[in-house]
Structure 1
Amino acid sequence: MISKYRKQFNQEFTQEKYTLFNDILKEKSGLSPSFRLSESPMFLSNDFKNKLIDASESIIDQIKALPEGTLEKAIPENCKVPNDTKQPHFFTIDFGICRSENGEIEPQLIELQAFPSLYAFQKVFEDTFCEVYPFLNEIKSKIPQEEFQTQLKELIVGDENPENVILLEIFPEKQKTAIDFALTEKLLGIKTVCLTKVKKEGKKLYYENDGRKIQINRIYNRVIFDELDRIPDLKLEFDFREEADVKWITHPNWFFKISKFLLPMLKHQFVPKSYFLHEFPESENLENFVLKPLFSFAGSGVNLNPTKEITDAIEDKENYILQRKVVYEPIFEDINGEFSKAEIRLLYIWKENEERPILLENLGRMTKAAMVNVDFNKKDAIWIGSSNAFFVEE
């Protein structure tokens, strides 16, 4: 979109710089990313950023205005965790980058969640772009590294000793986001602990480090609770549904409460119309909608072209939504003159005593395929995969 910076980046780009970019990230984290990194950042206008913020602020207002108890209906009975909080610690919101009927580039809401994304990784990712392409420093995020670290530390570690705070995941070394776990450890001084290693005595939780038993007081939760049931022969000492003397950052219930469950309740020019499957009106044309399970992750279960036969066969229709299709606009030109589409995720944190969340970073995902999730990208294409947006004056 921003021709000056796009032209300069494409002129400076080489495969050697892309290799260097990946090498620097490996050196900083100790791991190679297990998801594809786009060769290019996204250059977007401040006008587009203002549209993103306007839509996000409206969505936050609408969520805060919902009648008490509305969000609780989203939590499956077998997934309710005690000691819920009045608001989540994280809030992320995904927009497709589209073109309106009058030709303007505009965002369209794809989904939203109160689950931590790649916060630590994304900041290092942006900084690494600036190291390899120094001209990007003039348009990088205004939040310095020190403030970014302080904000996350206050949120996740709080007043605790970092050794009493853990990043919790199930088999973390097997997760695609392992590079983010490593960078979080470096940023906050906390340990990543597998759920299978958590010990429970009464209501207290512990983990072992260098032969020492250490009490867990705060959990930076990266476990998607409802996925645990799909792991065969999983043996755990700690069940999320049990009472425990621990503070969740963020509480597992919010994974369900801020989710696709909300989409049919939201209204804004940048929010496509959505319906719960069991409430889909006959006046609408199914061909114009995408079928999504409420609680899937990373694009699993999404059907871009649902048919009446498919929707009729679904028994738990209340656990699916139909969302009006949006068309991603291919506007990010690569060095071969081909164009990628993209979506952008805004990464907010929400402090316990604050009325509104704070926007810390963004995460971009570029594609040349029908679905934007990096799993659906062709391996031989360029300008695809995880990215980062830089916002500039046109």
Structure 2
Amino acid sequence: MIPQLRQQYNEAFTEEKYKAYIEALDAPFSGALDFRVAETPVFVPHVFLQQMLDACDSILEVITSPQYLQQSERAIPPNLKVPGPEGDPQFICFDFGICEAPGGGVEPQLVELQAFPTIFAWHLHKPQVWSAHFGTPKHLAPFVPPFNADSYIELLRRIIVGDDPPEETVLLEIFPHQQKTRIDFYATQQLLGIPIVCVTEVEQIGNHLFYKKKDGTLQQIKRIYNRVIFDELLQQSAEVQQKAAFFQSELDVTWVPHPNWFYRISKFALPFVQHPLVPETKFLSDLQSVPDDLKNYVIKPLFSFAGQGVIIDVTPEHIAQIGDPHNWIIQRKVKYASAIATPSEPAKAEIRLFYFWEPGAPKPVPVNNLARLSKGKMVGTRYNKDKDWVGGTFCLFETGTGDLYDEKGFVRMHF
């Protein structure tokens, strides 16, 4: 997206550097890297970053309003509603596709949003390792200004751990050591010193929760960094679900974030947002008639994860067969741009912006990012088998346009 940087990087790239990069990424958490890492970051011009930030500001005005809080009450399935104060959603992620703009060039288009954590700790580690192997680009950074690595870590620590001892906060997940994102769990544990606990290891006594420490003693849980997705929990055995029944209890814990936000700020929010960089979206239950240009739409279940259940090539039969249309959206397709030049075919990309909301702050702030490259119909490893220059990566944002180029307009840096 910054053409000279892209050309420079591709020309300097070697498979030997890439192999060393992957080995260094995996080394601190041996064997935990369970998804493909792309060969390159995405170089994002300042103007494109600003477009995404402006769109997020407009979306946040809607989804943090008292009116939306009331409207989103119906997003929470009654049998999965978690009691207790919700507070503000400490984490909100916005996914933008790099799309073809109507007048030429590219623009961001929102494809999804979620008030749920992502791989925050590992995306501190990854750019640092990449930089050690490929060079440190001047005037480019993975953080949204004014954040840097130190301020990012400090804010993440204040939100997740707060003022409590780290052992009183747990990273909670379903069979965490089997999850594809477990490398982030280990990075979080290393960064913040908090234990990783499976829902099956939690004990409830009254309105308090406990886990067993390595010495066998019970430790009370004061804060939960929640990584449990109910859609996955409901696919577990009855025994596992019973172990996780504490979710529906009145508990003396602080949720980070409260599980209800997973439903409130999700694809459910998209029909309420009108913005040029947010594709037209409706609840499927509100569809009066099937669009004549149905090929230009996609339908998505509201609360699935990682692209599961999405129907790209929609037919009227698909729509007719859906028995719970209030739990689905129909969204106008965005046209991804093949914007990332690679040694083979160009790649498409999505960018996820991380917003953190510190308790007591007036609003969330943008801090960091991840990106995903694809050469398939959808973004995700399962749709990009046997491809290169695809997979998980990150963006480097242009932070000083005037310093990035010399007097002849050439990039000042070399890889």
Shared fold, TM over 0.5: yes
Which residue of structure 1 lines up, in the alignment, with residue 320 of structure 2? 312
Contact 1:200 1:237 (C-alpha < 8 Å) held by counterparts: no
Secondary structure of the 1:96 match is: strand
Which residue of structure 2 lines up, in the alignment, with residue 5 of structure 1? 5
Match of 1:230 among 225, 231, 235: 235
Which residue of structure 1 lines up, in the alignment, with residue 106 of structure 2? 105
Structure 1: which amino acid aligns with 2:335?
A: V
Q: CA deviation at 1:138?
A: 4.2
Q: Report the Cα distance in structure 2 between the residues aligned to 1:227 and 1:241, rounded to whole angstroms.
A: 16
Q: Report the Cα distance in structure 2 between the residues aligned to 1:288 and 1:2, rounded to whole angstroms.
A: 29
Q: CA deviation at 1:64?
A: 2.3
**In the alignment, is residue 160 of structure 1 matched against residue 164 of structure 2?**
yes
Which residue of structure 1 lines up, in the alignment, with residue 224 of structure 2? 219
Aligned counterparts, 1:1-394, within 5 A: 1-65=1-65, 67=67, 68-136=69-137, 138-140=139-141, 141=143, 143-210=147-214, 211-235=216-240, 236-239=242-245, 240-282=247-289, 284-285=291-292, 286-336=294-344, 338-379=345-386, 381-392=387-398, 393=401
RMSD (Å), alpha carbons? 1.5
Contact 1:288 1:325 (C-alpha < 8 Å) held by counterparts: yes
Contact 2:155 2:358 (C-alpha < 8 Å) held by counterparts: no
Contact 2:290 2:316 (C-alpha < 8 Å) held by counterparts: no
Q: CA deviation at 1:63?
A: 1.3
* Larger displacement relative to structure 2 (275-284 or 92-101): 275-284
Structure 1: which amino acid aligns with 2:185?
A: F
Secondary structure of the 1:353 match is: coil
Q: Report the Cα distance in structure 2 between the residues aligned to 1:32 and 1:59, rounded to whole angstroms.
A: 35
Contact 1:25 1:32 (C-alpha < 8 Å) held by counterparts: no
Q: CA deviation at 1:374?
A: 2.4
Q: Report the Cα distance in structure 2 between the residues aligned to 1:103 and 1:194, rounded to whole angstroms.
A: 49
Contact 2:95 2:111 (C-alpha < 8 Å) held by counterparts: yes
Contact 1:96 1:328 (C-alpha < 8 Å) held by counterparts: yes
Q: CA deviation at 1:137?
A: 5.1
Q: How many residues end up aligned between the 2 structures? A: 392
Q: CA deviation at 1:66?
A: 5.2
Q: Report the Cα distance in structure 2 between the residues aligned to 1:9 and 1:49, rounded to whole angstroms.
A: 20
Contact 2:223 2:256 (C-alpha < 8 Å) held by counterparts: yes
Deviation by residue 1:141-168 (Cα, 9 ceiling, x = unmatched) = 3533222111111000001100010000
* Larger displacement relative to structure 2 (134-143 or 260-269): 134-143
- TM-score with structure 1 setting the length: 0.96
Contact 2:32 2:182 (C-alpha < 8 Å) held by counterparts: no
* Larger displacement relative to structure 2 (268-277 or 11-20): 11-20
Q: Report the Cα distance in structure 1 between the residues aligned to 2:217 and 2:138, rounded to whole angstroms.
A: 44
Secondary structure of the 2:123 match is: helix
Structure 1: which amino acid aligns with 2:18?
A: Y
Structure 2: which amino acid aligns with 1:273?
A: E
Secondary structure of the 1:88 match is: coil
Contact 2:376 2:383 (C-alpha < 8 Å) held by counterparts: yes
Secondary structure of the 1:348 match is: strand
Contact 1:29 1:182 (C-alpha < 8 Å) held by counterparts: yes
Secondary structure of the 2:248 match is: coil
Gaps of 5+ in 2: 405-415
Structure 2: which amino acid aligns with 1:227?
A: E
Q: Report the Cα distance in structure 2 between the residues aligned to 1:377 and 1:19, rounded to whole angstroms.
A: 19
Q: CA deviation at 1:222?
A: 0.2
Secondary structure of the 2:232 match is: helix
Contact 2:29 2:183 (C-alpha < 8 Å) held by counterparts: yes
Structure 2: which amino acid aligns with 1:153?
A: R
Report percent identity of matched pairs. 41
Secondary structure of the 1:332 match is: coil
Contact 2:95 2:350 (C-alpha < 8 Å) held by counterparts: yes
- TM-score with structure 2 setting the length: 0.91
Q: CA deviation at 1:97?
A: 0.4
User: Judging changes above 3 Å, is the alpha-carbon distance between structure 1 residues 279 and 384 closer, same or farther for their aligned structure 2 residues?
Assistant: same
Structure 2: which amino acid aligns with 1:384?
A: V
Q: Report the Cα distance in structure 1 between the residues aligned to 2:359 and 2:154, rounded to whole angstroms.
A: 15
Contact 2:121 2:187 (C-alpha < 8 Å) held by counterparts: yes
User: Judging changes above 3 Å, is the alpha-carbon distance between structure 1 residues 292 and 238 closer, same or farther for their aligned structure 2 residues?
Assistant: closer
